Chain A
Amino acid sequence: MLNPAFLELKHLHKQYAQREVLRGVEFSIPAGSCYALVGPNGAGKSTTVRAIQGLTPLDGGEIRIDGQALSTLGAAGRARIGVVPQMDNLDPDFTVEENLWTYGRYFRLPKTRIRQRSAELLEFMALSGYARQPISALSGGMQRRLTIARALINAPQLLLLDEPTTGLDPQARHLIWQRLRDLRRQGTTLLLTTHYMDEAERLADQVGIIDQGRILAQDTPRGLIESHIPGEVMELRRLDGRTPDPENWHQQQVALSERVGDTLICYGQDLQQVMAHFVHNPDYRWLQRPASLEDVFLRLTGRNLREEEH
């Protein structure tokens, strides 16, 4: 059985001047699970994260944390939340450990508690040897890890991560993913925004796809793929850049396909016929792969879906 919801968002609305950035965003995260909010830039991900911190006054809807309305919790609600912001805002004048101390003081934690917690967190984030280093001595990946360590200084029950691995190399991303899974196992509730589908697929129990301020679909990563993409995927491209299969021969073979630029994408349980038709044609390049969250995402938010509607 699922735990009761730790975070509940109900019908969030937010408007800036003429632009509606949130149009009824609604989801909930059971305690101790990870929810990924995926969407293109400007979809409303960061606004949602800010709203959960109480930093964006809403034009409608309600946010509940552990059953309590955020509006009644006020700034005190933030004592139970950790935030990894999209933009690094470590204190450049301080060393690694001074950053943690200073941040802990913002929560009014006692000094001994901050000291003990800092040592644990630096260890957890593989930064122990760097306690006295200035921020400028850290690589981008290390700064991100420190930002995550900093967000954990108050032992938050809910961790909000706004694009935590954007711009990092694969090694750094894998270490961060590993630590986020550790946190989830320890019972921390995680909300992650990302535009990397693989990140959502690897970390999240539930994924919500958001675009233009609306949640278009939400389910487990597998559930989303199974309900939106029938079977496998094949991408076809012509070497000379011209339109592949202009006569639409493939439509006799597959139920679903779309064209993205110079690429024809076919979806189906059995793509053998299509492959057999094009594989010996020297003008074609093809790629067969299992369906991923990215396919779901592109089908739900991409322009090709809209083209199909014509």
Chain B
Amino acid sequence: MSWQDAIPNPGALAVVQRNFGVWRKLLLPSMLGNFGDPLLYLLALGYGLGHFVGHMDGMPYITFIASGIVASSVMNTASFEGLYSAFTRMSAQHTYAAMLATPLRVSDILAGEVLWAAIKGLISAVAIIIVASFFGAIQGPWVWLSIPVILLSGLSFGSLALVMTAMARSYDFFMYYFTLAVTPMFLFCGVFYPLHSLPAFAQDIAQVLPLTHAVALLRPLLTGQLPQQVPYHLGVLLLYTVIPYLIAWRLLVRRLLR
């Protein structure tokens, strides 16, 4: 297996199409989750907590938190898809085995899964953007520019999740990833409060985590400003896409082609 085999073919789109076909069948409960959860968060934190907080970083708390919830929802949705759903397809349903009996290769399956995780992240983000704009919490001329950023963030969280999936022996394994990676990012990467309120060492740690960079790009774009240090943030997200992708590919090749 040479590294060239890690580059996916257009066949990866058939994998996306398959996952989309299944998602469409479960549209109603899926959409309820996409719209319902952020609505509850916005009401509870934006209004409830926002009543006491007032403004944060020069904007109403509900506006501050809406963009944070967009970013964290991309992380949660793409991670969940790349962990539990992908593991179900690989392990319980043997969907990967069925795909490998066709001209699809491991890289096509992996790329399809990562892309699908990103698309699901985008769907959930768009749902939140729609809900939050009713509260006036999303505004400005740059909202549409958030879409490529959301997709890139989704690709990086999807790739990371698939590394875990490629190593997992059971669903229990994913608790490590949630407790040690997803939850800390949710709490310490600027979703609920600005990074500069953390002690210096914690800010340094936050800088190496992908969610920090997703928030740094999305918060300005969704609140009518242009982000700072765009190439830096994009670069980190890109690294978090490419490197985990290659690791996941290596691990999956070892796992599936024996």
Q: A94 contacts B11, CB within 8 Å?
A: no
Interface residues of A in 102-150 (CB under 8 A from B): 102-103, 105-108
A-B contact count (CB 8 A): 71
Q: B interface vs A, CB < 8 Å?
A: 1, 10-11, 14-15, 17-18, 21-22, 25, 93-95, 97-105, 256-258
Interface residues of A in 53-75 (CB under 8 A from B): 53, 55-57, 75
A76 contacts the other chain (Cβ, under 8 Å)? yes
Could you pull out 28 A-B pairs where Cβ atoms are within 8 angstroms?
Answer: A16-B258, A55-B100, A55-B256, A55-B257, A56-B258, A75-B103, A75-B104, A78-B103, A79-B102, A85-B97, A85-B98, A87-B94, A87-B97, A90-B98, A91-B18, A93-B21, A93-B25, A94-B21, A102-B17, A103-B98, A105-B14, A106-B11, A106-B14, A106-B15, A106-B102, A106-B104, A108-B11, A151-B101
> In the complex, A94 Cα to B20 Cα: how many Å?
12
A252 contacts the other chain (Cβ, under 8 Å)? no
Q: B257 contacts A57, CB within 8 Å?
A: yes
Chain A: minimal CB distance from B128 (Å):
26
Q: Which residues from B are CB-within-8-Å of A56?
A: 257-258
B98 nearest in chain A by CB position:
A89
A235 contacts the other chain (Cβ, under 8 Å)? no
> In the complex, A83 Cα to B101 Cα: how many Å?
6
A261 contacts the other chain (Cβ, under 8 Å)? no
Q: B105 contacts A91, CB within 8 Å?
A: no
A295 contacts the other chain (Cβ, under 8 Å)? no
Chain A: minimal CB distance from B89 (Å):
9
| 6 new A-B contacts at CB < 8 Å, known A75-B104, A85-B97, A106-B103 | A55-B257, A75-B103, A93-B21, A94-B22, A106-B11, A107-B102
> In the complex, A90 Cα to B101 Cα: how many Å?
12
A170 contacts the other chain (Cβ, under 8 Å)? no
Q: Which residues from A are CB-within-8-Å of B11?
A: 106, 108
Q: Which residues from B are CB-within-8-Å of A108?
A: 10-11, 14, 103
Q: Which residues from B are CB-within-8-Å of A78?
A: 101-103
Q: Which residues from B are CB-within-8-Å of A88?
A: 94
Q: A89 contacts B93, CB within 8 Å?
A: yes
Q: A105 contacts B257, CB within 8 Å?
A: no
Q: Which residues from A are CB-within-8-Å of B93?
A: 89, 91-92
A150 nearest in chain B by CB position:
B98
A98 contacts the other chain (Cβ, under 8 Å)? yes
A101 nearest in chain B by CB position:
B21
Q: Which residues from B are CB-within-8-Å of A102?
A: 14, 17-18, 21
Q: Which residues from B are CB-within-8-Å of A83?
A: 101
- Which of A53, A93, A98, A151 gathers the greatest number of chain B CB atoms within 10 Å? A93
Q: Which residues from B are CB-within-8-Å of A75?
A: 103-105
A160 nearest in chain B by CB position:
B101
